[in-house]
Structure 1
Amino acid sequence: MLSLLHVAVILPFVVGMLLSMLHRFFRKVHMGWAVLLVPVSLFVYFVSLISNVSERNTVSGLIPWIPSLDIGFNFYLDGLSLLLSLLITGIGILVVLYSIYYMDQKEALNRFYLYLLMFMGAMLGVVLSDNMIVLYGFWELTSITSFLLIAFHYKRKASTSGAQKSFLITVFGGFAMLAGFMLMYLMTGTFSIRATIADWGQIQENALFLPALVLILIGAFTKSAQFPFHIWLPDAMEAPTPVSAYLHSATMVKAGIYVVARFTPIFGGQGLWFWLVTGVGILTLCYGSFLAVKKNDLKAILAYSTISQLGLIMSLFGVGSAALYFGYGDSSAMYTVATTAALLHLFNHATFKAALFMVVGIVDHETGTRDIRKLGGLASFMPITFTVALIGSLAMAGIPPFNGFLSKELFFQAMVEITHLRIFGLGSWSILLPVLAWLASVFTLIYALIIAFKTFLGSTRSELPAEKMHEAPIGMLIPPVTLGILVIVFGLFPNLVAMTLIEPAMAAVLPQLLSGNERFDVHFSLWHGLTPELIMTVGVVALGVTLYKLLPKWRNLYEHYPQGLTINNMYHVVLDNLQHYARKWTEAYMNGSVRNYLVYIFSFTVALLVYAFFRSGENITWNFQGNAPFSFYEAVLLITLIAAAVSIPFAKNRLSAVIMTGAVGYLVTLLFVLFRAPDLALTQMIVETVSVALFLLCFYHLPELQRGKSSRRYLTVNGIVAIAVGIVMTFVALAASGTASLESISTFFLQEAYNSAGGKNVVNVLLVDFRGYDTLLEIMVLGVASLSIYSMINLNLEAKDLGARLKFRKKETTDENDVELDDKDDNTKKYGNREGTSSSWDTVPLQSNDVLLQTTTKVVVFIILTFALHLFFAGHHNPGGGFIGGLVTAAALVLIALAFSTDTIRKALPIDFRMLTSIGLAIALLTGAGSFLFGAPFLSQTFGYFELPLLGETELATAMLFDIGVYLAVLGVTMTIILQIGEDR
């Protein structure tokens, strides 16, 4: 059944779509105020669950999706998912509030907030999903929405390039993670994360266990910008500052860390897991902190600082996983400090890093630059912003009394304690872990001081005059000030989150270390005595401040590293070469000849089928006997059909070819009638009618048919391919009718069509009930195709531009396509002169002057529309349905277009058929999702009999709602294509 957890995930998507459609009503009021209600509501909801989760009370919801594959929207809230949910919604509140004052109302706010809310919903789906496949779906949705957010200013090349880089890298990792999930399913037979954790001891010896481990980690490393996949994050800073503050402090970059934490109970006791997570984390920590000092752009400094901090958290989860090597007992208690530190810093990092991003946004907003070489002395103009920057920077550097100091001290403690371990091959080399951690912390302090002091202290170097420099508006200051206060509060009173958030999260990460109602003893203190980690902190401050003072003398060391060896440069070299060779390879076979494309397709199909025949020849039974007798009418029809098909290649003009093609389609319709398939006959007839009309519309835009002398090789290839296809498909039919490895399912559908779906028309029941998912995907494909056609036609390219853009198309000569064309068939000929039309495309009228046709149409069209409605409503029990009903309705409108003009349809029906397609798809999708309200799988249908006034006992089925969606989608798709091709352009 639908639970509040499901509502929490769905709410951002629903509100985002509604607000994007109603954005015109927000001309005087900033749309962000309405958006703000979403994270506020969700944050209040998750706060109300803190006590339940702390008491280990189960908060979950289950909606089956594909039960046979163990896939469902299974949401589960424990300490780890609660911690992330609070960060996603809590930081989301402040980011939306900040964006209200940061984003100008002249920008496309409907798109901005739609993407932002979709991203919020996707992140909640990631952290709440107990099903791996659903988790993966939301995981990829975060990649898509983050791509849209990063590329929000899509006219900037840097924005689109950064979005592309982040998308390619994170989606690559997502595919690897999906493969890991598949391997987990092969080992356990379930996609449930909780069920897999329960069986962790049974699968660790499986040969697929370690490959699954590596693949899942690749996905986590790419999303959390771990070395060497970190290169996408700096380029992602091209996103608007509210997006950067949200994605790179509390949400997207934390998704990979969440996956590592979530799967630690499964893989944590393995040496490979320990070394990969710890090693990659430490390397990323050092690399990010070292490069952050090099940067001059404030956002770039924060980007590399984020990479560094993510590496710190990742390394802590790796070290903490060593506790699972020992299992339940006191011997593992000393090693839980790493997991405690990881979870605490996960929380702390979100607070101070979001504050710093907002500070940088304020500086950029008020001064117009983020270059520290052009900034300085801003403290006197922006005292509040400077205060927040100082608090955030010192917290990031781990200076007391801020919250970052606590987690940094625990980080040092964990790295020191790991040197005492003698597992996973740890020996004297383990001393490198605390040493590298300490060195990285020194550079962390340096770039923290750069952010605070280089920007706000010293002399004013801003190009803006002093009278124009001022503090940000109060609305823009509230979010970073709130975060700065939280940094101080949780630094002075850290135990506010110790047992309420951190301890339940630890129980989710290390469940094997607890028994019964036991709890971890989580307690934080600012003063914990004179310890090695405190001495390390003093050393960090001493060396860090010294190096900061001497920064001009050693910073030029960065310039000596060859740029050609950077990972970022290697990425661009590989990408550029892939694009270059892919273009070359594509141009080699994509030469603009449709005939060649058909040869490729048919040849590959024949080769594949022949290979299949030889591969499984022993298992195939060829049916050469027992075929049903054919009648005289069938023989005549078949001969006529063959004659019509053969005559098409010999047509002298395109009109004859169109007519003969239509004849083939209508003859196939008669064949369906003879074989008693009325649904197929109706569909084929209307499809052929619309197709012929479409051909005739295209006819206006085609060049004159030029028939040259075809070469022998050209005809030979055509003949061989045609004969091969015919022979192979004949054998496919014989094999299909003779080989029956499984019992036919037709009997099941015949028996259950009425009992299970309430319909007597088995074909329609299959389309909207048993195989409704297929139909949904089909109308989605049709919708995409119609939008693609619409986009291509509306490019409105001039003939000369077309010639340049289609430069790769090779001239169809005997050398290439073995067909000699007339030299005059050039670009002007193609797009100027028409068969039977004037020489200008823009003056082609699509209308008829036939009075008889126009008069007849006025009557016939109502008969056709009535018939279409009959087909729609009768389809559940008799031939018909939404698909054929939509096609017949479209046929009526096409008749109007042919008899009068496309403008007549535009005036009589002022409908945006693209929007009609969207509405149809939405109705079909919502009908399928409506079954979730009743705890049934997606697209489950039901029916019942009701006493209605005047109608008496009437059957009502939810399948009719789905069929309405199909009807509208098909009508919208068909008319979008017809009108775009048929209009006078």
Structure 2
Amino acid sequence: MSTLHLAILLPFIFVVIIPLLYKYTRAIHTGWIALVVPVTLFVYFIQYFSINKAIDPITVTVPWIPSIGLSLTLYLDSLSLLFALLITGIGTLVVLYSIFYLSKDRERLNHFYTYLMLFMGAMLGSVLSDNLLLLYSFWELTSVSSFLLIAYWYQRKRSRYGAQKALYITMTGGFSMLLGFIILYAASGTFSIREIIAMGDTVTTHALFIPAMFFILLGAFTKSAQFPFHIWLPDAMEAPTPISAYLHSATMVKAGVYLVARLTPIFGAFLEWSWTIIIVGVVTLAMGSFNALKQYDLKALLAYSTISQLGLIMSLLGVGSLSMNSNYAPYSEYFIAAFVAAIFHLINHSVFKGSLFMMVGILDHETGTRDIRKLGGIMHLMPISFTFTMIGAFSMAGLPPFSGFISKEMFFTSVLTLAEHSNAWITIIPIIAWIASIFTFIYCMIIIFKSFTGTYHADLLDKKPHEPPFGMLVSPAVLSILAIALFFFPGLVDTSIIEPTVKEMAPIAPLFIENPNWHVHISAWHGFNLELVMTIGIILIGTWLYLTYEKWKTPVFDLIPRHLNLFTLYDKAIEGMEKTATRITKSYMTGSTTHYLSYIFSFLIIAALATLIGTGSFVLDMSQDSPIEWYELMLGIATVIAAVFVLFSTSRLMSIMGIGVIGFTISLFFVIFRAPDLALTQLVVETISTALFLLCFYFLPKMKAGVESIRFKLTNAIIAIGVGLTFTLLGLSAYGYRVFEPIAEYFSNSYELAGAKNIVNAILVDFRAFDTMLEIVVLFSAGIGIYTYIKLRYAGRND
């Protein structure tokens, strides 16, 4: 096993260690133990980073389930390294922040950090997997672990609701993505992403290639909260703030972005891929930025801003993929710039959004509220917090001297290039992008000035505002410094991470074929151009709209009725499905054992007979059978009469007598067929069971009137005859249809194989040894469970 495998395994090891050590380490905060994982992993991955050159790709494989093509194949290149550094770097800062945010006396920290380590390991597995099935396994594990994290405060109804919504939507997308992966496997014969990319036209000419594309995009859109699947993200804000800072700014919501970037070499040359991502991304950008203006809860505002920024990144990936399309070959260099902007903004977004989430958590922690209407006038009480919030918000607004300004300018360049080299109607995309950026500017100003300036409302706050502990400020301080450093020194990431990542995303782009020595160069100043004019317009118009916000917000927001939204549609859809499911369930879950047995036996009859007849497997060959003697026929008739007697008897006592006759008659068959052991066993069992039936049935209430009706008995008769006929036909077919040599030949050597003179005993004791052992294990496990439950009940623990 390679060190790369161990890197993924480390978080899962701590998933076991943290609960085991929790009882013995309560004197210290559990976060200090968990902090070992992201710090160790960040140090491990940072060794591959070099400012001067790209990483040499690393591939390591451990066989797992070769029969279905599943192997633990990991692939580390610039793209996966970038995400690994974000996962572990932001993870380090989040865990450090959470140590001071979460109280070790009031919170179940063993649960919190166990879930967090589970999520961290799943995210690392997702971005490092080369095998599609392995990627899917980790992908769904991120959904499960995020469900646990969002529902951490499970006693709150909104937390449970948000966790369920996130799970429903992201796992539905995950199933769609799996279907796309399976189609890719059918087209290529491999689950390896690198091998599929290398196959080129062999995969892309498959009849189901385009459906596979859309199935995969559905998985990416649901995970990265793209319209119309964005509705899970605002409700996921019920999670503790460290979780919001980690999952919803730097990691989980970026998984869909990663998937699109990783699979662009396969699908990027197709316009269906490019324009779907562009349109969905731009709509998400505009919708998210507009809805952010409506929010009073700072975390809800940041949730919609995250949706908007993810739409921006997605749209850039769509524009960049046009560089691989033959129709846009002359403009390949211009569209490649969109990939550069996407990766750079992805880094910037993780930095400033992680910082902003932490600062909102600090406001909530130190004032007792996140409601903008209750905040204000606290800048002089929390000057350091104000400074860090301002840096994060200005960077998100795209203002200098912060890194968000550079990537925002690059975004404008990309959409303007798209409009220049496409149809006239595409001009609407830069306009939408510009308007969305104005909205972004406004809500960034709201975050800063409505939270910290204005009138101080001491009576509306649960606590007197003050700066948080130093440890809580360390993480946002680091991110704030990065937001400034990346503005002045973008060369830290341009040639080391962004350039090789772009070349991996567009390996067949004409630009790289014609100019293999192409390099990325990012600078803060782009000259006096249209992009700068757009930025100046954003500042001027955005400032005016912010100052007049109270005048225009109500009439503008009321243009769309509040009940007409996807949130209401989702709730009604879930409610409708629950009512339908309840109605269907009540129709067959009647509480009657008779009904349940009828369902089971009816299904058995239909499934078995349909398979037997439909496949032509019924064979009746009695040529080798011995003749039926008269006394055997008489015993058979007696058994049938006893069975009919049971069916139509009017009392339980008579039914038990009839069942007893059937059992004793069968024991006579064993005697005739020279199986005295089975006959003796049958006699003993039948005697005991008959006695137990009589004892138990004595205490049962009288039979209901309905069971004596002809309809009830006729239904039972039909089911009974059907089951008997089914098993008779199966038995005759199995006897007359030989595919393999009879196993009796093997068991006939029981004396040599097992030292047993009795074949039946040898089968029961020796040849079924493992089966018997497993039966004992099952009984032992059940016994342990019952014993534990009884002990807990006696100890007064009824949970």
Q: How high is the TM-score relative to the length of structure 1?
A: 0.71
Give the one of 747, 765, 769 matched to 1:880. 769
Distance 1:80 1:587, change over 3 A: same
Structure 1 residue 529: deviation in Å? 1.1
Distance 1:383 1:878, change over 3 A: same
Q: Which residues of 2 match residues 76-115 of structure 1 at below 5 A?
A: 76-105=75-104, 106-115=106-115
Structure 1 residue 96: deviation in Å? 0.7
Partner of 2:758: none
Alignment partner of 1:973 is 2:782: yes
| Aligned partners of 1:13 and 1:121 also within 8 Å | yes
Alignment partner of 1:474 is 2:470: yes
| Aligned partners of 1:52 and 1:58 also within 8 Å | no
| Aligned partners of 1:296 and 1:372 also within 8 Å | yes
Partner of 1:50: 49
Residue type matched to 1:486 in 2? L
Structure 1 residue 631: deviation in Å? 12
Structure 1 residue 653: deviation in Å? 6.7
Aligned partner of residue 481 in structure 1, secondary structure: helix
Structure 1 residue 299: deviation in Å? 0.5
Which deviations, in whole Å up to 9, do the C-alpha atoms of 1:947-973 show, x marking residues without a partner? xxxxxxxxxxxxxxxxxxxx4x65223
Q: Which residues of 2 match residues 161-200 of structure 1 at below 5 A?
A: 161-200=161-200
Residue type matched to 1:364 in 2? D
Partner of 2:494: 498
Q: Distance in 1 between matches of 2:628 and 2:38?
A: 70
| Aligned partners of 1:289 and 1:444 also within 8 Å | yes
Partner of 1:944: none
Q: Which residues of 2 match residues 191-270 of structure 1 at below 5 A?
A: 191-270=191-270
Q: Distance in 2 between matches of 1:228 and 1:278?
A: 14
Distance 1:228 1:730, change over 3 A: same
Q: Distance in 2 between matches of 1:119 and 1:579?
A: 30
Aligned partner of residue 72 in structure 1, secondary structure: strand
Partner of 1:117: 117
Superposed CA RMSD: 3.9
Distance 1:243 1:264, change over 3 A: same
Q: Which residues of 2 match residues 909-920 of structure 1 at below 5 A?
A: none
Aligned partner of residue 585 in structure 1, secondary structure: helix
Moved more, 216-225 or 49-58: 49-58
Alignment partner of 1:507 is 2:503: yes
Q: Distance in 1 between matches of 2:515 and 2:332?
A: 18
Q: Which residues of 2 match residues 197-346 of structure 1 at below 5 A?
A: 197-326=197-326, 331-346=331-346
Q: Distance in 1 between matches of 2:124 and 2:720?
A: 54
Q: Distance in 2 between matches of 1:583 and 1:511?
A: 52
Moved more, 516-525 or 219-228: 516-525
Distance 1:750 1:101, change over 3 A: farther
Alignment partner of 1:622 is 2:511: no
Q: Distance in 2 between matches of 1:174 and 1:375?
A: 40
Partner of 1:820: none
Moved more, 146-155 or 642-651: 642-651
Aligned partner of residue 497 in structure 2, secondary structure: helix
Which deviations, in whole Å up to 9, do the C-alpha atoms of 1:187-206 show, x marking residues without a partner? 11111111111113223232
Residue type matched to 2:538 in 1? V
Residue type matched to 2:447 in 1? I
Which deviations, in whole Å up to 9, do the C-alpha atoms of 1:384-416 show, x marking residues without a partner? 111110000000011111111111111011111
| Aligned partners of 1:234 and 1:304 also within 8 Å | yes
Partner of 2:451: 455
Structure 1 residue 149: deviation in Å? 0.8
Residue type matched to 2:780 in 1? L
| Aligned partners of 2:162 and 2:235 also within 8 Å | yes
Structure 1 residue 608: deviation in Å? 2.9
Structure 1 residue 290: deviation in Å? 0.6
Structure 1 residue 612: deviation in Å? 3.1
Aligned partner of residue 769 in structure 2, secondary structure: coil
Aligned partner of residue 563 in structure 2, secondary structure: helix
Aligned partner of residue 373 in structure 1, secondary structure: coil
Which deviations, in whole Å up to 9, do the C-alpha atoms of 1:363-404 show, x marking residues without a partner? 111111111000001211111111110000000011111111
| Aligned partners of 2:285 and 2:312 also within 8 Å | yes
Distance 1:323 1:738, change over 3 A: farther
Count matched residues: 759
Residue type matched to 2:46 in 1? V
Distance 1:55 1:274, change over 3 A: closer
Structure 1 residue 651: deviation in Å? 11
Structure 1 residue 235: deviation in Å? 0.4
Alignment partner of 1:37 is 2:31: no
Aligned partner of residue 482 in structure 2, secondary structure: helix
| Aligned partners of 1:327 and 1:512 also within 8 Å | no
| Aligned partners of 2:123 and 2:142 also within 8 Å | yes
Structure 1 residue 49: deviation in Å? 2.0
Partner of 2:530: 532
Aligned partner of residue 558 in structure 2, secondary structure: helix
Aligned partner of residue 459 in structure 2, secondary structure: coil
Moved more, 389-398 or 67-76: 67-76
Partner of 1:766: none
Partner of 2:750: none
Residue type matched to 2:449 in 1? F
Distance 1:643 1:544, change over 3 A: farther
Partner of 1:789: none
Distance 1:141 1:466, change over 3 A: closer
Structure 1 residue 658: deviation in Å? 14
Aligned partner of residue 512 in structure 1, secondary structure: coil
Distance 1:636 1:340, change over 3 A: farther
| Aligned partners of 1:644 and 1:664 also within 8 Å | no
Structure 1 residue 162: deviation in Å? 0.8
Residue type matched to 1:97 in 2? L
Q: Distance in 1 between matches of 2:138 and 2:85?
A: 18
Residue type matched to 1:62 in 2? T
| Aligned partners of 1:54 and 1:79 also within 8 Å | no
Aligned partner of residue 60 in structure 2, secondary structure: strand
Aligned partner of residue 591 in structure 2, secondary structure: coil
Structure 1 residue 152: deviation in Å? 1.0
Q: Distance in 1 between matches of 2:365 and 2:730?
A: 68
Q: How high is the TM-score relative to the length of structure 2?
A: 0.87
Structure 1 residue 98: deviation in Å? 0.9
Which deviations, in whole Å up to 9, do the C-alpha atoms of 1:104-123 show, x marking residues without a partner? 21211111111111111111
Distance 1:727 1:54, change over 3 A: farther
Partner of 2:609: 610
| Aligned partners of 1:53 and 1:77 also within 8 Å | no
Moved more, 437-446 or 644-653: 644-653
Aligned partner of residue 498 in structure 1, secondary structure: helix
Structure 1 residue 145: deviation in Å? 0.9
Partner of 1:723: 721
Residue type matched to 2:344 in 1? L
Q: Distance in 1 between matches of 2:352 and 2:605?
A: 62
Which deviations, in whole Å up to 9, do the C-alpha atoms of 1:669-688 show, x marking residues without a partner? x99xx999x9xx9xx99xx9
| Aligned partners of 1:887 and 1:974 also within 8 Å | no
Alignment partner of 1:350 is 2:350: yes
Partner of 1:581: 580
Which deviations, in whole Å up to 9, do the C-alpha atoms of 1:255-311 show, x marking residues without a partner? 111111111111111111111100000000000001101111000100000000000
Give the one of 413, 431, 438 matched to 1:435. 431
Q: Distance in 2 between matches of 1:403 and 1:383?
A: 22
Q: Distance in 1 between matches of 2:402 and 2:233?
A: 26
Residue type matched to 2:781 in 1? G
Distance 1:219 1:704, change over 3 A: same
Q: Distance in 2 between matches of 1:719 and 1:252?
A: 58
Which deviations, in whole Å up to 9, do the C-alpha atoms of 1:750-775 show, x marking residues without a partner? 99xxxxxxxx99xxxxxxxxxxxxxx
Partner of 1:851: none
Moved more, 516-525 or 480-489: 516-525
Alignment partner of 1:21 is 2:20: yes
| Aligned partners of 2:54 and 2:496 also within 8 Å | no
| Aligned partners of 2:78 and 2:500 also within 8 Å | yes
Q: Which runs of 5+ in 2 are unaligned?
A: 748-752, 755-761
Q: Distance in 1 between matches of 2:262 and 2:279?
A: 19
Q: Distance in 1 between matches of 2:504 and 2:658?
A: 69
